Amino acid sequence: MIRIAFALMFALTLAAATPADAQEDPIQGVISSQIEAFKADDFETAWTYASPMIQRLFGTPDRFGMMVRQGYPMVWRPAEVTWLEQRAEGPFTNQDVLIRDAQGAFHTLRYQMIQTENGWQINGVEFLQAPQAAA
């Protein structure tokens, strides 16, 4: 009975992290779309998902793309993306994301999202401590 309950919980957890769900949630949809643009090296499109503050900070899509390639290679070329907690904090909504990179390492990132006249946009990304593997 415990095995069945565990299997059901595992299946529900996997179902909760599907790409289809990302398209139902507007914040996850924006993040997914930006990641897809990065995977295609389409920095012009990825740039459109960045908030005005981020765009002012980097100035051009090319400089933005260079920062992502150098500072966030797991976002530029993720092997797997899993949605974690999402919560509102003042004018922002934070979306935590677990990303497995091409080498198999896990990275936990917090996306700060802001609602603008153009919809949800990414206002920053910070590294969080990755979960430790069970022994």
CATH 3.10.450.50 applies to domain 22-128: yes
pLDDT of residue 10: 39
In tens digits, what is the pLDDT along the chain, a chain of 135 residues?
A: 554 444 334 344 444 444 445 458 999 999 999 999 999 999 999 999 999 999 999 999 999 999 999 999 999 999 999 999 999 999 999 999 999 999 999 999 999 999 999 999 999 999 997 556 555
Q: How many CB atoms lie within 10 A of CB 116?
A: 12
pLDDT of residue 23: 54
Q: How far is 57 from 63, CA to CA, in rounded Å?
A: 10
- pTM summary value: 0.79
| Token pair belonging to 128 | 């969080």
pLDDT of residue 51: 98
Q: How far is CA 87 from the centre of its chain?
A: 14
Domain boundaries, the chain: 22-128
